[in-house]
Amino acid sequence: MTEKDFIPQSNISYPKEGRIGYKAPSNIALVKYWGKKENQIPANPSVSFTLDACATRTVVTFKEKTPADEFSFDLLFEGKPKEDFKPKIETFFNRVAVYLPYLKKYHFTIDTSNSFPHSSGIASSASGMAALALCLLEIEKMADATKEDSYFDKKASFLARLGSGSACRSIKGSLVQWGKHGGLESSTNLFGVPYPHKVHEVFKTYHDTILLVHKGQKTVSSTVGHNLMNGHPYANSRFVHAHTNLDALEAVFASGDLEKFIGIVESEALTLHAMMMSSTPYFILMMPNTLQIINAIWDYRKTTGTPICFTLDAGANVHVLYPEDYKEQSIAFIQEQLVQYCENGHYICDKVGQGAKKLDLK
């Protein structure tokens, strides 16, 4: 498929008004997306677990307006106007306008909220952009009955990607791959696809407990971090490394080999942060408590043999990953030894989920 396949036919008759809602989850990358080209094209492929509890709920009300000459929307966050979110939405509208040519025909009220606290340090761009993309695309879905659901799933992911790269992995499925990889037909830079190879049962119920080490705003945004991969001295070897790790994960996902899984996932997390530490300018997003947690996980794993590991996003928080069969001892370990390193003792228990859902608004 190419970008052109997502431009709708011009003879569709769109509804005059309506109201749509979607809940979209966050996701946690196992092989990280870090570095991008023009038009939100990733520099390397990535794969992520779709989460469940961490999600954004967005309700969009739309009504026809004249003239249809510019974008018009109000933005509410948790029921209250939120002006500082508007520029990001405006940028998103501009990027997707050619694929959603009806956007200027309507005035929108976008009402959005997150399941996790706003000041948790958890990025809401993936779940937020996925939920918004789904709501806006639903208008086309209402108008065009000729297209199949699979087309709309791809287009939702394609649109979400234009809002925030990682958002394209928050539409469908428990394990999602985004980015062209090897000769695999189904993999593409344009949208996320359900992981195309065999996946062992153990990975379908994996847990992710997110330890909130630092709940404030990050010092460097992901967008700035991605750009610092341009001209980065280790960029090319990093991008090759991501492909190598995805190749290695194929056998791991199929067999359920947790030792190898842990080796790849932790190395990916530390490589992501190593890229930040070796860019120009360089920066560090981990905090002393991030390292305390990592060391405590390594000690606990070594002494007990529990297959528990960590990954990191672009911040100080730690995602602690463990299989369902080890849930009890892992939670006890987290509470006894790791929660002391969380800001105000806060953490979120999440697990692998199935993707976005349409809300029943009646």
- Amino acid letter, residue 42: P
125 interacts with ligand DP6 by CB under 6 A: yes
Q: How far is CA 339 from the centre of its chain?
A: 25
> Minimum Å distance from CB 61 to ligand DP6?
26
Look at residues 169, 100, 83 and name the one whose alpha carbon lies nearest to residue 129: 169
Q: What is the DSSP letter of 198?
A: -
Yes or no: say if 113 and 77 are a contact pair by the CB < 8 Å rule: yes
273 makes contact with ligand DP6 (CB under 6 A): no
DSSP 257-312: -HHHHHHHHHHHHHHHHHHHHTSSS------HHHHHHHHHHHHHHHHH----EEEE
Per-residue b or e along 143-177, where b marks 16 or more CB atoms closer than 10 Å to that residue's CB: ebeeeeeeebbbbbbbbbbbbbbbbbbbbbbbbbb
Query: Please, which residue, 13 or 217, has the CB nearer to ligand DP6?
Result: 217
Query: Under the criterion CB under 6 A, does residue 354 sit at the interface with ligand DP6?
Result: no
Nearer to ligand DP6, 163 or 307 (CB): 163
Window 251-270: residues binding ligand DP6 (CB under 6 A): none
Q: Which of residues 158-177 bind ligand DP6 (CB under 6 A)?
A: 164-166
Show contacts with ligand DP6 in window 199-258 (CB under 6 A).
222-223, 226
> Which CB, 20 or 29, lies closer to ligand DP6?
29
Which among 28-36, 109-117, 287-295, 343-351 is the span making contact with ligand DP6, rule CB under 6 A? 28-36
**Residue 42, SS3 per DSSP:** strand
Q: Which of 89, 242, 314, 321 binds ligand DP6 (CB under 6 A)?
A: 314
How many of the other CB atoms lie within 10 Å of CB of 70?
9
Q: Which residue among 33, 106, 203, 322 contacts ligand DP6 (CB under 6 A)?
A: 33
Indicate the residue among 47 and 296 with the shorter CB distance to ligand DP6. Answer: 47
Site for ligand DP6 (CB under 6 A): which residue of 29, 131, 211, 286? 29
Structure tokens given for 67: 């003239």
CB 314 within 8 A of CB 218: yes
> Which chain residues interact with ligand DP6 by CB under 6 A?
29, 32-34, 40, 46, 123, 125, 164-166, 222-223, 226, 272, 313-314
